[in-house]
Amino acid sequence: MLKIEGLHAGYGGFEVLRDVSIEVGAGETVAVLGPNGAGKSTLLKVIAGLLKPSSGAIHFENRRIDGKAPYEIVEMGISLVPEGGRLFPELTVYSNLMMGSFNKRTRRYFKDSLEEVASLFPIIKQRKNQVAGLMSGGERQMVAIARALMSRPKLLMLDEPSSGLAPKIVASIFEFVKEIKDRGYSVLMVEQTVKKAVNVADHIYLLESGRVEFHGKKEDFLENPKIKRSYLGI
Ligand SMILES: Nc1ncnc2c1ncn2[C@@H]1O[C@H](COP(=O)(O)OP(=O)(O)O)[C@@H](O)[C@H]1O
Ligand SMILES: [Mg+2]
């Protein structure tokens, strides 16, 4: 579904991503793990069209998407939940969700989309008139994911959905990620915290200093001696 080949990208002359190749199959959840500064957010920005790669190719459903504008990529069915959610804090939950369904393809499905995200996140109905900035971190993350789903994506990208949240809240966020996968969405998430993210992923990529240092199935990841030592503390 998503195929990234030999991607190089950076900021000015500063190269961040070096020869990155990643695939996400339809209905799969893929986790890209790696330490702070590895290039995880840069990778998602490039896929979302917010940053132009210097070389390499990105195909989505067999169409080339690198070089397309961010709104075109949303129209094609890829949505990004940026780190921290980036809701409009002074707007209500409802208005934030409206912002998510503004593209041409999905505007007319606003009501259906709203029903669907409310069935996933009950909080949306209870709090629809609340100002987003007054919600807790976990609630904001849920609304941010809901807003991304309002654009009816086929592929949902999550930038560190657990960042800054208490362990109990993190567990419930990953429960939602699982539920989203069960509803048939493909998911590409990046995370620093290894253990929780691994549980919901089918495939894992390890990104270090902008290079893919490992990729494989969850089971291979958990059994890899180097990963056990460096990331799992075993
Ligand atoms: N807007 C930017 N301008 C210049 N350098 C940046 C910018 N954003 C990130 N970087 C640099 O790119 C590298 C990778 O950053 P990032 O993709 O945010 O990593 P991660 O999300 O894995 O923590 C870091 O060295 C960071 O300082
Ligand atoms: Mg980041």
Per-residue pLDDT of 7-52, as tens digits, reads 999 999 899 999 999 999 999 999 999 999 999 999 999 999 999 9
38 Cβ closer than 6 Å to some ligand 1 atom: yes
For 26: left if phi > 0, alpha if psi spans -120 to 50, otherwise beta; the answer is: beta
Domain with residue 19: its CATH number is 3.40.50.300
Which H or E run includes 113?
A: helix 110-120
12 Cβ closer than 6 Å to some ligand 1 atom: no
Label residue 190 by pLDDT band (50, 70, 90).
very high
CA distance 20 to 62: 18
34 Cβ closer than 6 Å to some ligand 1 atom: yes
The atom number, within ligand 1, closest to the CA of 83 reads 21
13 Cβ closer than 6 Å to some ligand 1 atom: no
Helix crossing, 137-149 with 167-182: angle to 10°?
A: 20
Q: Give strand pairing partners of 137.
A: none
45 Cβ closer than 6 Å to some ligand 1 atom: no
Whether the predicted pLDDT of 3 surpasses 90:
yes
Helix crossing, 93-100 with 137-149: angle to 10°?
A: 30
The atom number, within ligand 1, closest to the CA of 45 reads 17
pLDDT tens string 64-87: 999 999 999 999 999 999 998 899
Structural contact between residues 21 and 5, judged by C-beta atoms closer than 8 angstroms: yes
pTM of the model: 0.95
Ligand whose nearest atom lies closest to the CA of 35: 1
Nearest CA to ligand 1 atom 18: 41
82 Cβ closer than 6 Å to some ligand 1 atom: no
Q: Give strand pairing partners of 31.
A: 189, 204
What's the total number of domains in the chain? Answer: 1
pLDDT, residue 102, reads: 82
- 125-143 as b/e: b if 16+ CB within 10 A: eebbeebbeebeebbbbbb
Span 189-199, average pLDDT? 86
Q: How far is the CA of 18 from the centre of ligand 2 (A)?
A: 16
Domain hosting 175: range is 2-230
25: DSSP letter: -
